[in-house]
Amino acid sequence: MDLQDLRLLAPEIVFILFALILLLLDLMVKRKEVIALTGLVGVGISAYINYRLVKMGWLGGVLQDVFLFDGYSNFFKLIFYINLVLTILISLRYMKIEQTSYGEYYCLLFFATSGMMIMASAGDLIVLYLGLELMALSTYVLAGIIRRQRRSAEAAMKYFFLGAFSSAFLLYGIAIVYGLTGTTHLKGIASGLHELGLLNNPITLLGLVFFIIAFGFKIALVPFHMWAPDVYEGAPTSVTAFMSVGPKAAGFAVIGRVFFDAFAELDIQWSAILVPLAILTMATGSILALSQRNIKRMLAYSSIAHAGYAILGIITGTAEGLVSTMNYLMIYTFMNIGAFSVVILLRREDLLGEDLEDYAGLSKEHPVAAALMLIFMFSLTGIPPTAGFIAKFYVFMEAIYSGYVPLVIVAVLFSVVSAFFYLRVVMYMYMKEPGERVELSMSGGMGIALTITTIMVILLGIYPSLLLEFVRASVLG
């Protein structure tokens, strides 16, 4: 083993170090702002190291390629960094309002993110599993961090049990594949399946199905999505924002990695399985969101539907398709956290601010907040010139090029359905009379987060090649 290789692990090492520092810091300082700020510094350092490593061209694998430091993993790490920074920024004031200012909150965010980073880099199923569990265990706790709240605790419980259930599927899948090929190494699996003539073996397909179930759970693919609405609604809103982006992106990262590396030759098979699941996911997400009056729950179903659109790029089985999915995820990060930020803005000590009615007449009282929500809702619907349009446009185009025209028609139809519930929020804000006067829980961090997300949603809408070229470069080299 070459110790030199370990420097490629530096971003993760620094990250975990900072997670521990945050935990210790909590014992020493009273002000939670200090912890959050230290956390931001940690993200900055880790991201900077990552950036330098890429700049110096030290891409490659560590320890016989069980850990891959490549463009693909770095792109996902960028999503995780952004996700974490935005979450910290919107959490500060919010956690105080929830009277849940625990230092371990930030520490857990860090551990969860480390897990995601490891998942994105995993070149071996065991490493992948470790990362996935690190992420999952941390998010279970995060979901239940408001201990005195019943719905928060309930969310954590459900998430934990069902998550454990899905982990079982994953382990079964790993075991089956190991049994067949004698390796857990992704590249090794690919060559093993090919050389041993196992491509048409039903047991191989069984293993593949188990992977789809386990990863489908993480990205809330129907019918493995049941946890999502309850958990998203019950968890603290900042955690919901975090969970609706990070673990989902990490799930997509491992799907891309495992399917495109280990099961590359079975692409027809996994596409065939994913097509009905994608349709079910878009349908369930869009249709069930219609009857929600709780905005968090509505956004939960919305995020289920978005997974259905994003998976179209994977279904194509082409590198360009993968690019379009990654492009989708980055844009989704900005617009979804943006939308959740506005939800948090409405949360006060004496008001949940989660009901649709709470948005009535918002444009009259708080025109800026309403305008931002309008932008995010437009983007989630996919109306140009917001980034959401670009995201959908590219996955749809890639699916069309790969011959999935009927699937795209279905997707467009469900996009139209989804316009009803997104634009309903807009209608409440702009066409209804305001109820009682509402103060916003504005803060500096929140202001920064909203500025970043808004600018990105608009900028990527009018200048999409900015991101797209970057994604292309990370995947295609």
Partner 1 sequence: MLILIPLLPFIAFLINILFGRRFIRDRAHYVSIPAVVGSFILSVGAFMDVLDGRVINVNLYEWVISGSFVVPVGFLIDQLTAIMLIVVTSISSLIFIYSVGYMHGDRGYYRFFAYLSLFVFSMLVLVMSNNFLLLYFGWEAVGLCSYLLIGFWYERPSASNAGKKAFIVNRFGDFGFGLGIILIFLTFGSLEYLKVFSEAGSILGQKTSIFGLEVETITLICLLLFCGAVGKSAQIPLHVWLPDAMEGPTPVSALIHAATMVTAGVFMVARCNPLFNLSHTAMTTVAVVGGVTAIFAASIGLVQNDIKRIIAYSTVSQLGYMFLALGVGAYTAGIFHLYTHAYFKALLFLGSGSVIHALHDEMNIQRMGGLKRYMPITYWTFVIASLSISGIPGLAGFFSKDEILYRTFLGGGTGKILWVLGTIAALMTAFYSFRLIYLAFHGDFRGSEEQLRHVHESPPVMTIPLILLAIGAIAAGWVGIPSIFMEHGDRIGEFLAPVLGRPEAEGAHSTEVMVMTLSVIVSIIGILMAYIMYVKKTDLPERMGSALRPIYTMLYNKYWFDEFYHVTIVRPVLRASEKVFLGFFDGRIIEGVVNGVPDLIGSFSQRFRRIQTGLLSSYGLIMVLGAIIIIWAVIFSR
Residues 243/302, Cβ–Cβ less than 8 Å: no
Q: Does 153 bind partner 1 (CB under 8 A)?
A: no
Only one of the segments 53-61, 64-72, 373-381, 397-405 lies at the binding site for partner 1 (rule: CB under 8 A); that segment is: 397-405
CB atoms inside a 10 Å sphere around CB 290: 13
The helix-helix angle for 267-290 and 295-315 (nearest 10°) equals 160
Per CB under 8 A, the list member of 6, 196, 226, 476 interacting with partner 1 is: 226
C-alpha span between 175 and 204 (Å, rounded): 11
Residue found under tokens 């690019």: 323
Name the minimum Å distance from CB 390 to partner 1.
7
Residues 6 or more apart whose Cβ sits within 8 Å of residue 257: 72, 120, 122, 123, 128, 186
Kind and range of the H or E run holding 424: helix 405-431
Name the minimum Å distance from CB 263 to partner 1.
13
Query: Which residue lies nearer to partner 1 by CB, 103 or 388?
Result: 388
C-alpha span between 418 and 410 (Å, rounded): 12
**Which residue type sits at 444?**
G
Name the minimum Å distance from CB 303 to partner 1.
15
User: Bridge partners of 185?
Assistant: 124
Q: Does 288 bind partner 1 (CB under 8 A)?
A: yes
Query: Which residue lies nearer to partner 1 by CB, 26 or 230?
Result: 230
Site for partner 1 in 318-347 (CB under 8 A): none
C-alpha span between 51 and 357 (Å, rounded): 45
φ and ψ of 2, to 5 deg: -100, 115
Residues 190/263, Cβ–Cβ less than 8 Å: yes
Only one of the segments 120-128, 206-214, 374-382, 451-459 lies at the binding site for partner 1 (rule: CB under 8 A); that segment is: 206-214
Per CB under 8 A, the list member of 417, 442, 458, 459 interacting with partner 1 is: 417
Query: Which residue lies nearer to partner 1 by CB, 357 or 439?
Result: 357
Q: Does 423 bind partner 1 (CB under 8 A)?
A: yes
The helix-helix angle for 71-97 and 319-345 (nearest 10°) equals 10
Query: Which residue lies nearer to partner 1 by CB, 39 or 229?
Result: 229
Q: Does 279 bind partner 1 (CB under 8 A)?
A: no
Query: Which residue lies nearer to partner 1 by CB, 58 or 161?
Result: 161
Residue found under tokens 């491509």: 199
| 326 closest CA partner among 132, 155, 105, 476 | 476
Alpha-carbon distance values, 364 to 7, 357, 451, 472 (Å): 54, 14, 21, 43
Q: In a 3-state reduction of DSSP, which class is residue 376?
A: helix
Q: Does 477 bind partner 1 (CB under 8 A)?
A: no
Q: Does 397 bind partner 1 (CB under 8 A)?
A: yes
Burial class (CB in 10 A: 0-12, 13-18, 19+), 284: buried
C-alpha span between 354 and 389 (Å, rounded): 26
# of chain residues touching partner 1 (CB under 8 A): 50
Q: Does 421 bind partner 1 (CB under 8 A)?
A: yes
Q: Does 209 bind partner 1 (CB under 8 A)?
A: yes
Residues 461/376, Cβ–Cβ less than 8 Å: no
Alpha-carbon distance values, 115 to 22, 27, 132, 276 (Å): 17, 24, 6, 30
Query: Which residue lies nearer to partner 1 by CB, 198 or 273?
Result: 273
Site for partner 1 in 91-150 (CB under 8 A): none
Query: Which residue lies nearer to partner 1 by CB, 145 or 220?
Result: 220
Per CB under 8 A, the list member of 40, 130, 206, 352 interacting with partner 1 is: 206
- Here's the x/- map for partner 1, 10-49, by CB under 8 A: it reads as ----------------------------------------
Residue found under tokens 């939960």: 300
Query: Which residue lies nearer to partner 1 by CB, 57 or 202?
Result: 202
C-alpha span between 116 and 77 (Å, rounded): 8
Name the minimum Å distance from CB 373 to partner 1.
16
Q: Does 205 bind partner 1 (CB under 8 A)?
A: yes
Per CB under 8 A, the list member of 39, 188, 192, 229 interacting with partner 1 is: 229
Q: Does 90 bind partner 1 (CB under 8 A)?
A: no
Per CB under 8 A, the list member of 319, 405, 409, 462 interacting with partner 1 is: 462
Q: What totals of helices (H) and strands (E) does the chain contain, helices first?
A: 19, 2
Q: Does 165 bind partner 1 (CB under 8 A)?
A: yes
Name the minimum Å distance from CB 236 to partner 1.
19
Q: Does 167 bind partner 1 (CB under 8 A)?
A: no
Q: Does 386 bind partner 1 (CB under 8 A)?
A: no
Provide the terminal-to-terminal Cα distance of the chain, rounded to the nearest Å: 27
Applying CB under 8 A, the residues found at the interface with partner 1 are: 157-158, 161-162, 165-166, 169, 202, 205-206, 208-209, 212-213, 217, 222-224, 226-227, 229-230, 269, 272-273, 277, 284, 287-288, 290-291, 385, 390, 393-394, 397-398, 401, 417, 420-421, 423-424, 427, 431-432, 462-465
